[in-house]
Structure formats: C-alpha cells, structure tokens
Amino acid sequence: MSNPVLVDNIWTEFAHSYDQMIPELPCYKRQLGKILRDTLDRPYVIDAGCGTGLASERLARRGHTVSGFDNNPAMLARAVLKQAAEPDSVRARWRVQPGTVTEFPPDVAGDADAVVMNNVLFYVREPVRALREAFTHLKPGGVLLATSNKRPRPDLQKVLRHSIEEWKAEGRWGEALQAAVTHHESCARRLTTDPNEMVTFYEPDALVAELERVGFRRALVVDGDDYYGENFYVCMEK
C-alpha cells in the first residue's frame, strides 16, 4: 500500500470552527449517540475519516481501542492534540495517523469489532473501495457504522434553523456559538455548492444494497432521520 497523501482543501478552513460548533449541534449529538450505542461492547474500533477526533475521543475514553485516521492535515492536527492531552491510559488505546478511507493505512490492524465512517462517504469518489476496506478490516460479526448525506446539496439552512431553535429553547444561543455558526455556515455553503466537494450520496436502503453486494450480511439499523432528515445512519453486520 502507498503512503497516504494529506489533502489541503476546504476542510482545512472548516477545522477552525468544527470543534466549536459540531459537538454542540443537537442533531450531531443524537447521531453520535447512535454510534456510541452500537459500538458498546465492541472493544476495537476503526474510526475511518476521523476528522478532529470527536467520535474517537469518546470511544477511547470509554475504554475502546481506537485507530483513527484522516487525510486532511488541519483536521488531523486537532485530533492529535486531543489524543496528546488525554491521560496515559487513554493515549495508549487511541492512535491517530494520516490515512484515506479508500486505502486504510497498512498498519491498521484488521479483525475490528466496528468501523465508523461518520459523515465521510459524501466526499469519497470511490465509495465502494471504502466499503470494501471496511469489510476487509472487520471480523465476522463486526459492524460498519456509516452516516452521511442522503441527497445532493443538503439543506444547510434547514439544519441551522432547527439547531438554532433547539439552542434557543435550551438557553444556549450565545455569542461564542453564534460566531462559530457564522464561520461554519460560510464554509458549509462552499462545501455544499462546489460540485468537486460533495460527490457521493446514498438513500439508506440504497447503501444497504451496496453493502450487501460488498458482502455484508444484514442490516441492524437503517435510519434516515438524522440532521432533520438530511442524513442517514446505517449499522451493517459482516
């Protein structure tokens, strides 16, 4: 396998507001909750396209062995900083390195109990390669947890509108969050309108069919309600 190439793209700028806003999104919290639910009692997790390490961090703190990788240097740098700030016991379980989802780093061990691809597939030009990599690295009975956009040009304004309503109801719509949303919205608008950025979309049932062709044997969860109907969540067993 070749060494991964780090890609300096829109995600480099996105990284500046990503951790300030994404973990605060009520819809993201609900989606992450599904990932935490469906990785429970699965000791070894690969976080493919780990971004800034939001999911990896929660999994490693809970006691999982986590191998995370990403191909954007700014996103990856934030994951590295998070990993370095953890206690020794957590750092020992959590590895962060450069890598691509279509060709996992060569030293990422197989026989994983779960592979997470959280909001990843929409920017993958060869999604079947990524799904096959996940399949290859899972043990029998392991699961792929995939979340992503269902359709081209997701309705960013709908997601923000509903999120702001929830924040206001919780009394959390303050200056810091408003500033993060402004920056995030600018980046996300470019992301959702650039035809070179968002390239792959699945309706949940279509992804299940694709995974069955790859070799996965059954769907445990198929849900198209995430992000106020803009995202899907699929948990598929090998």
**What string of DSSP letters covers 7-36?**
--SHHHHHHHHHHHHGGG-HHHHHHHHHHH
Q: How many domains does the chain have?
A: 1
Residue with tokens 């986590």: 66
DSSP code of 152? Answer: S
Residue 213 lies in a domain: yes
The residue type found at 29 is: K
Q: Report the CATH number at residue 131.
A: 3.40.50.150
200 lies in a domain?
A: yes
- Domain membership of residue 218 (yes or no) is yes
Report the 10 Å Cβ neighbour count for 152. 12
- Both tokens of 108, joined, read 């990422």
| H helix or E strand, kind and range, residue 122 | none
What local confidence, expressed as pLDDT, does residue 5 receive? 58
* Domain contains 3: no
Place of tokens 């997601």: 159
Establish if 227 belongs to a structural domain: yes
Q: Is residue 4 part of a domain?
A: no
> What confidence score (pLDDT) does residue 2 get?
46
In Å, what is the CA distance from 232 to each residue of 58, 209, 217? 21, 14, 19
Residue 88 counted as domain residue: yes
Per-residue pLDDT of the chain (238 residues; tens, 9 = 90+): 444 556 667 677 777 778 888 999 999 999 999 999 999 999 999 999 999 999 999 999 999 999 999 999 999 999 999 999 999 999 999 999 999 999 999 999 999 999 999 999 988 999 999 999 999 999 999 999 999 988 877 788 898 899 999 999 999 999 988 988 887 777 777 766 666 667 789 999 999 999 999 999 999 999 999 999 999 999 999 9
- 3-class DSSP state of 13: helix
Dihedral sign (CA 132, 53, 11, 171): positive
Buried b (16+ CB within 10 A) or exposed e, 108-117: beeebbbbbb
- The DSSP code for 100 is B
For the chain, the helix, strand and coil percentages under 3-state DSSP, each to the nearest 5: 50, 20, 30
On whether the CB atoms of residues 157 and 186 are closer than 8 A, the answer is: no
Q: What is the pLDDT of residue 51?
A: 95
Structural domain boundaries enclosing 27: 10-237
Q: Kindly state whether residue 1 falls inside one of the protein's structural domains.
A: no
Residue 1 has a pLDDT of 40
In this prediction, residue 117 carries a pLDDT of: 98
User: 231: closest CA among 32, 39, 19?
Assistant: 32
